[in-house]
Amino acid sequence: MNLPRAHGDAVLVARMRSRAEDFFVEELDGFAASGSGEHLLLSVEKRGMNTAWAAQRIAQWAGVDVAAIGYAGQKDRHAVTRQRFSVHLPRRNAPPLERLSYEGEGGEALRLLGHDWHAKKLPRGALAGNRFVLVLRGVEGERDAIDARLKTVAARGVPNYFGEQRFGRGGDNLHAALSMFAGRRVGREQRSHLLSAARSALFNRVLAARVAAGCWDTPLQGEAWMLDGSRSVFGPEPYSEQLAERVARFDIHPSGPLWGRGELRSQDEAAAMELAALAEPPGEALRAGLERAGLKQERRALRLRPDGLAWNWPAEDALELRFALPPGTYATSVLAELGEVRDGSYEAA
């Protein structure tokens, strides 16, 4: 599905991930280590390896099953990333830390940055967000127009679309989800990924409809509101000067449905737009499948504002972007508002 932009036509064409160092991501820790316990927290930097591969490598180093490894978020292979892992080592000494570092023949690498002890396994989602440093290369476009678009993004934010990585290359995860809902058996972990892909596709449909209508960051009658930085939802309630002030300072956001069982939280005009967007095929099949799977209605903010957005031009055709995002949001949603940004890692594959 081609998702509409909120701020106008593309102002650039560029490549991202021309090399791993062009896509740097650092997890922002959600808590401080307790300093004691049976779980060793490892802060690592990795290059050219995804989170699951790094977890297996750490399990081999520690001599434990991979189930003893915890991490807060999944990180891409084609990047340089910093994140924490936990290793459950009850009543055991950790192996020599210098043996954890790894360099492969293909350029993949794992480097220890720090360590501490903690009382619990690191759970999924236990992060405050992610900080990005991205370099776009082969940039084509008028620099003044690109700078103006970035200023608009900094001021108004972008539509909070789920990124294409949620759906797999060519939308394979969505096709697989439809097959699963039709009766194909899948493993537990794959099932979770496919349910997420189905839910995300429906959310993106609603958000795309509101972007096209010009109301992705302004309220409709019957709006359900989401508090910034949390999953707390309130409303609908009559629009007021107080709500308008909170919207203007990004304290609250209009929201859209993450589909499941139960009644929509939105009402009136907002609910009507949501249901209309979800009625087009294969919306009905995806909704029915999610309901049969037992998921419950939830909400997600429709807009996203990158924190501390800054940029510079290190070369004539290279643009460096720096910003932070909350958990569960996508840097590619920010890039999409600029224009056509091709993934160089796919081209090299």
**CATH number of domain containing 275:** 3.30.2340.10
- 185 with 223, same domain? yes
pLDDT of residue 165: 83
- 241 with 328, same domain? no
- 143 with 40, same domain? no
Sign of the alpha-carbon torsion through 166, 172, 176, 179: positive
- 265 with 175, same domain? yes
Does 326 sit behind a cis peptide bond, omega within 30 degrees of 0 on the bond before it?
no
Query: Which CATH number is 117's domain given?
Result: 3.30.2350.20
Question: Per the domain annotation, does 186 fall within a domain?
Answer: yes
Sign of the alpha-carbon torsion through 76, 72, 121, 116: positive
- 118 with 176, same domain? no
Local mean pLDDT, 10-residue blocks, the chain (349 residues): 92 96 96 93 96 95 95 92 95 86 91 95 93 98 98 98 86 90 91 95 98 96 95 93 96 98 97 96 96 97 97 97 96 96 70
Domain of residue 169 covers 158-304
Question: Per the domain annotation, does 55 fall within a domain?
Answer: yes
Question: Per the domain annotation, does 25 fall within a domain?
Answer: no
- 148 with 165, same domain? no
Residue linked to tokens 């997600």: 300
Question: Per the domain annotation, does 94 fall within a domain?
Answer: yes
DSSP character at residue 83: E
By annotation, the residues acting in catalysis are 76
Question: Per the domain annotation, does 67 fall within a domain?
Answer: yes
Q: Given the DSSP bridges, would you call strands 23-29 and 80-88 parallel, antiparallel or unpaired?
A: parallel
- 174 with 189, same domain? yes
- 253 with 200, same domain? yes
Question: Per the domain annotation, does 4 fall within a domain?
Answer: no
Question: Per the domain annotation, does 7 fall within a domain?
Answer: no
| Ordered DSSP codes for 293-317 | TT-B-EEEESEE--EEEEEEEEETT
Q: Is 198 exposed, middle or buried (0-12, 13-18, 19+ CB in 10 A)?
A: buried
- 146 with 167, same domain? no
- 203 with 238, same domain? yes
Question: Per the domain annotation, does 2 fall within a domain?
Answer: no
pLDDT of residue 231: 84
- 146 with 184, same domain? no
Looking at the structure of the chain, the number of domains it has is 3
- 43 with 121, same domain? yes
Q: Is 178 exposed, middle or buried (0-12, 13-18, 19+ CB in 10 A)?
A: middle
User: What is the number of other CB atoms lying within 10 angstroms of the CB of residue 35?
Assistant: 10
